[in-house]
Amino acid sequence: MGPMKNELRAFRLGDIRGLYPEEINESFAVKFAHAFVHHFRVTGSIATGRDMRVSSFVLQDALNQGLRESGIDVIDLGLCPTELGYFASTRRGIDAAIIVTASHNPAQYNGFKCALKDGRAVTFDTGLSEVMELMRAGFHNPPTSGKLKVLDLRPEYVDFFRSKFANSPLKAEHIALNGLNGTAATLAEILVSEFELPVTWFRKEPGPIPSEGADPVNPRLVAQMKAYMESGDFGIGVAWDGDCDRCVFFDGNGDLVPTYYIVGLLAEKFLQVHQGGVIVFDTKLCWNTLDVIREYGGIPAPSETGHAFMKRKMHEHQAVYGGELSSHHYFKDFFGCDSGMFAWLKVVELINQSGANITELVRERREKVCCTPEISLSLKDTDRAFSEIFNRYEADALNVDYFDGLGFEMPGDWRFSLRRSKTEPLVRLNMESRGRPDDLLGEGSKLLQMFEPYRTDVMNCSDSLRIQ
């Protein structure tokens, strides 16, 4: 096995993700397996699974081949959500899990999400860089042969959920479930039966995913969900991304409930039970989350954006809950990992216990802290754009935060943050204010005008500038 000549562009900060077959293919998967086993000194079994993409089956097969050539016994989970891999990593004898998925990306992408024992995250800084260098050098483990075992772990996983919700019977109004043709239904359908929940599905079957990908907050897909819910009588709607580790919610009218307020809602719930607990959060939007943490006596633990970084922070602080603006929700009760299934059932439980609907539960928080939707910018000179924004706003800012990007707290009770995406060639812009929506829109419009000379896309940002 010779050295790899390409730049291995599929290696990202938090996982592996690239175009198939140009950046990730069967040869890449075999070589990745050899390097992964060697660098992390894996001796026990490794669980592998896949999402619904056409390329996922051949990539998982190649991954299994490389693991077995490295002397590893493989537990094949088959078609499954990513969270089933995290669960598998906590089972006896399984030292790691690798799920073949590109999450919400369009169908031409694929990748790997990896976890070590007990759901410990793997990032570029915590091992993937060394794996990349081993692949580049053409590393190959001594030839041997591990075994392959196909295992349906879902019954054990459902038992796990049964134990977590044993003391809180789940009752709900009619629920609209949207799997976006990802892997959600492979688990959710069993949980629906287990908890006797009244549901109707939209985009249930795994694959093919929508042409634009399976991002549940994509405006076009949000509009489809609203139209679907308007055709029926639903109390709440739930949608997952392609590999089911992101979860978003819709009110009874089919309107998307911003994840920012769901994070606050769940943080409040867990702090009521775990006084003094740690809450992990990303800082793209943070005022509402910090208000909740202070009000309920919690400890804030800001994290870099990205599932691998959030999981690492969850483990580091033994946090009770973590919430990310991208709709990943992390739970101490789920080994510090993110789970779209756990998030869904926790919100149903919360609604059931409170007697209020989801709109009522977040109304007061939305009135105190308002925000705009996240705006994604494609820029031709990101460094220069960032420099111009910094020079314009730094002098007047009450505070400049350099953690995971840039954050500016401005006079007039408004704030904005800029982040380079870790999975796409985009910049994420988020804005919030303390109950002054008109002022926020005015300041936001001025900010967006400064980006216009650097834009490479044709979308008018002002179309997205509204209060959520």
Q: Which of 226, 203, 201 is nearest to 213 (CA)?
A: 203
**Geometric angle at alpha carbon 321, from 317 and 324, rounded to 5°:** 105
Q: Kindly state the tokens that stand for 365.
A: 């928080």
Name the burial class of residue 259, with classes exposed (0-12), middle (13-18) and buried (19+) by CB atoms within 10 angstroms of its CB: buried
Name the burial class of residue 380, with classes exposed (0-12), middle (13-18) and buried (19+) by CB atoms within 10 angstroms of its CB: exposed
* Distance from C-alpha of 394 to C-alpha of 332, rounded to nearest angstrom: 38
Is 103 assigned a catalytic role?
A: yes
What is the DSSP pairing of strand 256-257 with strand 247-250?
antiparallel
DSSP 8-state class, residue 205: S
Q: Name the catalytic one among 55, 56, 89, 103.
A: 103
Helical pair 26-39 and 56-69, crossing angle rounded to 10 deg: 40
Residues with Cβ < 8 Å from 384, sequence gap 6 or more? 454
Helical pair 259-273 and 287-295, crossing angle rounded to 10 deg: 10
Residues with Cβ < 8 Å from 115, sequence gap 6 or more? 85, 86, 89, 96, 97, 121, 122, 311, 337
Peptide bond into 208 cis (omega under 30): yes
Contact 291, 273 (CB under 8 A): no
Residues with catalytic roles: 103
